[in-house]
Structure 1
Amino acid sequence: MKSLKFTYILFLFLLILSSCKTLNTNVGIPQQKLPEHYNKTLSDSTNIAQLNWKAYFGDEHLIRLIDTALANNFDLQMALQRIITVKSELLKAKGKQLPNVDLNSWAGRERVGEYSVDWAGNEGGTFLSGDPLNPAYNDYYLGLTSSWEIDIWGKLKNSRKAALSRYLASIEGSTFVKSNLVANVATLYYELLALDNELETLTHTIEKQKEALEVVNLQKEVGKANALAIQQFQAQLLNSQARKNETLQAIAKTENALNFLLGRYPQPIERPKTRLFQDFPHDIKTGLPVQLLTNRPDIRQAALEVEATKFDLKTVKAAFFPSLTIGAKLGYNAFNPKFLFTSPESIAYSITGGLTAPLINRKALKAEFNTAKANQLEALFNYQKSILNGFMEVSDEMINLKQLEELIKLKKQETNILEESIEASKLFYKMAKASYLEVLTAHQNYLQSKLELIDAHKQKQIATVNLYKALGGGWY
């Protein structure tokens, strides 16, 4: 009979192990090979992403703003708190690998039935102290209890490794927030510089338009201009003044947005508007695409999330196997408080071991396994997406920078020519060799070209910031 029971238990054990062989934890997806270079031109490993953002920007005003944002920005502070939360999960996973030891104490009174198994044969008996046994008795205990799951299949170890990977991923997540914050502050900073230069251009243009209006008024007095010409010049002046008011409004809103990133209430922001037209102190070097894997915090975070899901899958698989738990108890136990600390008579201890294996709820475990497997596949796809996204961002900003540099060259020439045309049109108008419409057109074309040149410089600075971020800069 005993051999039959043993055979039955062994059969169940082997059945459990054999069914677990079908749970494949080797999950993978096709991977696209990362190009060796960003374009057909060969490049070396020199990379601006390896520069500290302070050295990269080289602007003391911008550096002070970014320092303030890194200290006060609420999004970054929340990201840092998420690190603490995930770290707590890591400590919890580590603690599960150690025995659980508790200090327990209890006191109670119990009465057993006189015809029960617990009382049968005890009537008339006595305790070791000589006190008579009664159906009703007190019970006191003070001591330690412990339980410990022996990690036979690595379930607890893999759970700890998953928690560690997520902890490291949370650090990379906060680094990514920091990188974005640096880029966003720099972007708003250059938008402010552009608006300052737009304001200066509009102010200068308004002065020129007022001078032109005075000339037309004089021409009307001597009969060389009519009221229509004056109205046209007045309308152009009013339009420029309205654009100036819109620019002042945009400056106030942009300052507020920048102050919000800095975690402070609205206040003036010191900045030199001429900085918009200055290049960064370092040449733009993109390095090699493979450096994205180590430089970009979002790609590193995605890679760590993949590692975490791998350990999750192994942890879920281990739940299919039998688990061994050891329990122990050591303390003082007595029916009377005065005997509680009497040694060795009141010392009580026990040790137990239990082997449990899931039988009925295996479908639920398999559902968890399939979920963990799907999570790993999702993490793998997200990792590949992060790499592709990083490469495309760098490629886009490189193209953007090249086009903007060409645009700035052309716009500079155009602006210089149109600036000269203003003076020429005014002179020809006084000599009656040009109409007032030509003067108006010259003013309008110059203003538009000048504003487009300022915008091109702004876009170039922002593209340079975005390229730095796309390469993984801003976190050193």
Structure 2
Amino acid sequence: MVMNRRFLEAIPSKLKKRAYLSAIVCGLLATSSGCNIPGLRRAQPGAAIPTAYNWNNGAPFWRSKTMASADAAESHTAESDGKVHSLDVGELQTERWDGNASEPVVPNEVDVATFDKQKDPSSFGNFVRATSFLDPVAQDDEKNPAIDDQIKEIEAELGDDADREPLGDGFDEGRDEKEQSYRSDVTESASDLSGNGLIDTEIGPSDNSIGIVGFENSSQLPQAVFYNDPYLLSLITETITGNQELKILSEEVRIACNETYARSGEYRPFVTLGAGAGFEKTGRHTRSGAVEHQLEVAPGKEFPDPLGDFGVGANVSWEIDIWNKLRNAQRAAGMRYLATQEGRNYIVTRVVAEVAENYYKLLALDSRLQTLQATVEIQQQSLKVAQSKKDAGRGTELAVQRFKAEVQKNVSERSLIAQEIVEVENRINFLAGRYPQPVGRISAEFVDLNLTTLGAGVPSELLQNRADIREAERQVAAAGLDVQVARARFYPSLSLTAGLGWNAFATGYLFRTPESLIYGMAGELVGPLINKRAIRADYSSANASQLQAIYNYQQTVLEAHIEVVNQITKVENYRQSIEVKKKQLESLQASVDAANKLFQNARAEYVEVLLAQREMMEAKMVLIDTKQEQLAAIVNAYQALGGGGF
């Protein structure tokens, strides 16, 4: 106490007053009611992620007797657990789920277990191996350790919670609710993953040799397994390496990385080293000149005229990051860097899906061209018959000209299809980053083309598998850190500056120590006191950007779920349509054969032959288009699930 008292007495009174005044100002800044920081607005919670996909929006898939086996079509035997009901051709069930009920509404007491016992290859029981949406899984409050580990990894990426609040006051509760909902959703379905989470589209046979059956979610399948066409795999490889859009995105990732690197240096000391030289001539009749004239550098030696100024030194400046403002800014930049990486990964999956979709469109155009050529050959045969009947006096010129016009119409259609082929090929070439050239492809029966079986898993898996959802999640984290950075601007900032060097009027005296040695050190504590409008505006804008990021995350999750349901439901509905159209095509082919024979025997008019041939060709074209849409739906479903291994 004695030493402290003596030390205080030795301090000049002016310095005491300044110290007391600084302490009062800092105390007012730190203890004022929140430094006048406005309150944060909170985000509204989004819809909870369902525990299972709602295929076809809850309505049973359309099916008919002609598509089922004979036993399933004729069986109306009551089972002990329920009843079996078969739909007639054209009967469509339009009932939907009762959203408030614990079990779905199934018309006419359709029993799912009995449905599967029928072994009907076209039934939805084979399409969906685990009807978790028809038989909801009971809730289980047990925690899943795998989910705990994943959440810990996310928290580790965001940094130490003891140092900062990454998502701000407006998102903490929302994040807790999301974590609890996510834990609950995944835990409810975890016990059902062995069978009840697998969605089988029945597109192509399963291959146990490559382990496809072992995957419960198709997103786990590498692209080399899902796309088993060597031509398509080669195109995908060229696209990933040569696509200009992906190269542009790679540079954006590099820019974001550089921004993170730059931010990491802002909370470290800045050290500069410099040297300077100059001369100054002062007037004799000025204060400085008169003073210099009266002084001497050394006994008997006046100041040089002009007066030189030489200096060498180092300066240090350092803003002490006492509120984690600079570190949070660096963490926000790091989150945006990771989000940019995930954004590029998502674009990669979209580009790969577009290449695959255009590839199957090429196969469809080839099949259309083959169908058109086969139709032209059939019509040419009918034209020869009409010409022969006319020459024999049993026909007219009208029939000849109608058949000839029909042949010419279809021949001209081939050129249009050829143009479409060129455009689709060049679209693939553009995606692959190469100039126009032919695109190699397999030669196979397009309608019977098979792809890998799809497994959808559970909806909550989209949070880890979809790159766009991971990107949106990192944007939310970055926006929360921006709020913390804006909040720190309300508090005082502490800066330290220091310098060390040599300064003299002549180079001969420059490095004389201690005569030419100069040094200094200062600290500055500055905080806003009056007129905080700009700071409040930035803080409110950061809060609004945070809410935008949260709502964008909710929208991305919702959009991903809807994409999966739409595409996989489309696969099944189009599969049912293809099976019916195949039977329709068989009937039309038989009608064309019968019409040709009747026309040759003069028992049918040429109009009937023309109509039969035209309807058969149109049915083939529609079947090809439907198959193309189904394959595109499979590709898009694989992409929507987050598949591709990117």
TM-score bracket, normalised by the shorter chain, equals over 0.9
1:130/1:356 CA distance change after superposition, 3 Å: farther
Q: Report the CA distance between 1:347 and its aligned residue.
A: 2.6
Distance 1:361 1:134, change over 3 A: farther
Aligned residue type for 1:295: N
Aligned residue for 2:542?
A: 372
Task: Tell me what 1:13 maps to.
Answer: 26
**Which residue matches 1:35?**
50
RMSD: 2.4
Tell me the equivalent position of 2:73: none
User: Which of 429, 439, 443 does residue 259 from structure 1 map onto?
Assistant: 429
Deviations 1:114-171 (A, max 9, x none): 8988789776444479854479622111121111110010000000000000000110
In 2, Cα distance between equivalents of 1:131 and 1:230: 126
Paired position in structure 1 for 2:466:
296
Per the TM alignment, residue 66 of structure 1 is displaced from its structure 2 partner at its CA by: 0.6
User: Which runs of 5 or more residues in structure 1 are unaligned?
Assistant: none
Alignment match, 2:261: 91
Whichever residue aligns with residue 373 of structure 1, its letter is N
**Corresponding letter in the other structure for 1:82:** E
> Which residue in the other structure is 1:407 paired with?
577
Shift of the alpha carbon at 1:225?
1.4
Which of 361, 373, 385 aligns to 1:203? It is: 373
Q: Distance in 1 between matches of 2:500 and 2:267?
A: 21
Contact map agreement 1:107 1:139 (CA 8 A) in 2: yes
Deviation, 1:280, is: 4.9
- SS of the residue corresponding to residue 197 of structure 2 reads coil
2:481 paired residue number: 311
Segments of structure 2 that go 5 or more residues without pairing to the other structure are 1-12, 59-130, 133-195, 199-215
- The answer to whether the Cα contact below 8 Å between 2:585 and 2:616 also exists between their aligned partners in 1 is yes
1:213 maps to 2:213: no
Evaluate the alpha carbon distance shift between residue 438 and residue 359 of structure 1 in structure 2; reply closer, same or farther with a 3 A threshold: same
Equivalent of residue 359 in structure 1, options 526, 529, 535: 529
User: Kindly tell me: are residues 38 and 131 of structure 1, through their superposed partners in 2, closer, same or farther at Cα, counting changes over 3 Å?
Assistant: farther
Structure 1 residue 20: deviation in Å? 3.0
The letter of the residue matching 1:315 is V
Query: TM-score, structure 1 length as denominator?
Result: 0.94
1:229 is aligned, of 372, 384, 399, to 399
User: Matched residues in 2 for 1:323 and 1:426: separation?
Assistant: 94
Among 76, 95, 113, which residue is 2:246 paired with? 76
Q: Is the 8 A contact 1:158 1:314 kept in 2?
A: yes
Once the two structures are superposed, what CA deviation does each residue of 1:163-187 show, in whole Å capped at 9, x if it has no partner? 0000001100110111111001001
Q: What is the rounded CA distance, in whole Å, between the counterparts of 1:290 and 1:446 in structure 2?
A: 46
CA contact (8 A) 2:37 2:490 kept: no
Aligned partners of 1:291 and 1:36: how far apart in 2? Answer: 10
Q: How far apart are the structure 1 equivalents of 2:582 and 2:391?
A: 38
Identity %: 34
Is this contact kept in 1: 2:221–2:645, CA < 8 A? no
Distance in 2, matches of 1:201 and 1:353, equals: 85
Q: Which amino acid aligns with 1:155?
A: K
Q: Where do 1:42-57 residues align within 5 Å?
A: 42=132, 43-44=196-197, 46-57=216-227
2:347 paired residue among 150, 155, 177: 177
From 335, 347, 366, the equivalent of 1:165 is 335
2:479 maps to 1:466: no
Residue 592 of structure 2: aligned partner: 422
Distance verdict in 2 for CA 1:459–1:281, change over 3 Å: closer
Name the CA distance, whole Å, in 2 between partners of 1:311 and 1:128: 61
TM-score, normalised to structure 2's length?
Answer: 0.70
- Of the three residues 474, 483, 506, the one matched with 1:336 is 506
Aligned residue pairs: how many?
476
Separation of aligned partners in 2, 1:87 and 1:363: 33
- Which amino acid is 1:305 matched to? Q
Offset at 1:348?
A: 2.0
* Partner in structure 2 of residue 345 of structure 1: 515
Residue 22 of structure 1 is matched in structure 2 by 37
Return the alpha-carbon distance in structure 1 between the equivalents of residues 286 and 266 of structure 2. 41
